[in-house]
Structure 1
Amino acid sequence: MLRRTYNWTLRRASDRHAFLWLALLSFSEASFFPIPTEAMLVPMVIARRDQAWRMAGLATLASIIGALFGYAIGYYLYDSIGGWLINIYGLEGKARSFQDWYARYGAIVILVKGLTPIPFKLVTIASGFARYSIPSFLAAATISRGLRFFIVAGLLRRYGPPIAQFIEKRLTLVASTCLLLVLGGFAMVKFL
């Protein structure tokens, strides 16, 4: 099943709608969907290394638009959709503590959490819920997401073939590590 999913992703990464798939995943990952953008960005850059910067730019732009959507969920719809999404991830108690963090650390919270495996949608929804300054939110989100996606794309552009071979040979290890990072991100938010 893992190999089929990986092959499906590689096919999507190299088909004519790849950029649309990437934009949709980046948008939804920043606002409500649990799968990280790198699940599409990595195979796309491996398949088309000459387009790495364009892909990273698109992922960043779509993620920022998705972040605004997540912010709106937290700002306008927290009592219905926002709270429901936070509860799905089992983090209902943590969203309110984010307000204290934002009061003290603001942009640093967004910058750090945008670079870590902590699901970014939690940051965007919590930012809206905390009524954090939209210009500051956008600046910090753009920096953190841009750094994350451009670093991934740059490393894959430069070292793509050996990384692709490593992934091909050790797909279960790579997938398990990625899953552990995502679960670790959720755990960090829940227990820290």
Structure 2
Amino acid sequence: MLEQITQFFMNYGIWGLFGMAFLDSFILPIPPFFMQIAMSLFDPDSAMRFATVAFTASILGAPIGFMLGKWLGKPLLQKLLPPKWTALATEQFSKNGDAAVLIGAFTPIPFKVFTILSGVFNYSLTKLMLFAILGRGLKFFLIGTLFHFYGKHAKILLDDYLELTILGAGALVAIGWFVWSRRRKRYS
């Protein structure tokens, strides 16, 4: 089924990539970077354009995931969980939401999880968008840059080093967030 969904979007080329990245932000179960990689493999000269399209669509879809979480997720959560658990989860997301959204926007974890949870737990839409821009930009443009400079050989690099690259970049993002949050607390 996932292969059929991916093939459906592939039939529409760059517009399919846009649609997949947009829908990934709030409903689609398939991350768009797989399609971005496939398209960049066929046309490495357009890799940065593909990165821009996927990034833009993903950012445009983020507020929809946020609103779905606010409108549908919150009432559902309140019906399923005791109020003390909901209050605790809301408190934890407000304390650690910055790191969760920033790291989640970059990692292969479905982005919709973070956009929807942001709405459910009353996380700041402004912060969601800021961290989505940073994390999603890093993710899509890292792939685009690899294909731009290495062409079809980038696929070999991704196959051999994708996990290590994601862990390394995720660690750098986490360290950056930690330093930023420490400085923010110091000057507050």
Report the TM-score when normalising by structure 1. Answer: 0.67
Q: Which one has the largest radius of gyration?
A: 2
Q: Deviations over 1:80-138 (max 9, x none)?
A: 7x76xxx9xxxxxx987652332212322110111112111110100001111111111
The AA in structure 1 aligned to 2:149 is R
SS at match of 1:117: coil
Distance 1:56 1:23, change over 3 A: same
The AA in structure 2 aligned to 1:154 is T
SS at match of 1:31: coil
From 103, 107, 129, the equivalent of 1:138 is 129
The AA in structure 1 aligned to 2:109 is I
Unaligned runs of 5+ in 2: 167-188
From 96, 99, 104, the equivalent of 2:95 is 104
Shift of 1:151: 0.4
Q: How many residues align?
A: 155
Q: Distance in 2 between matches of 1:46 and 1:26?
A: 18
Q: In the alignment, is residue 65 of structure 1 matched against residue 60 of structure 2?
A: yes
Distance 1:98 1:23, change over 3 A: farther
Once the two structures are superposed, the pairs formed by residues 83-122 of structure 1 within 5 Å of their partners are 98-122=89-113
Unaligned runs of 5+ in 1: 88-93, 168-173, 182-192
Q: In the alignment, is residue 41 of structure 1 matched against residue 36 of structure 2?
A: yes
Q: Distance in 1 between matches of 2:102 and 2:25?
A: 14
Contact 1:99 1:126 survives alignment (8 Å): no
Q: 2:16 — aligned with what?
A: 21
Shift of 1:35: 0.5
Contact 1:34 1:119 survives alignment (8 Å): yes
Report the TM-score when normalising by structure 2. Answer: 0.69
Q: Distance in 2 between matches of 1:136 and 1:163?
A: 32
Distance 1:164 1:95, change over 3 A: farther
Contact 2:9 2:20 survives alignment (8 Å): no
Q: 1:74 — aligned with what?
A: 69
Contact 1:101 1:109 survives alignment (8 Å): no
Contact 1:63 1:145 survives alignment (8 Å): yes
SS at match of 2:152: helix
Shift of 1:144: 0.5
Q: Deviations over 1:14-70 (max 9, x none)?
A: x6x311100110011111111011121001111122221221111111111211111
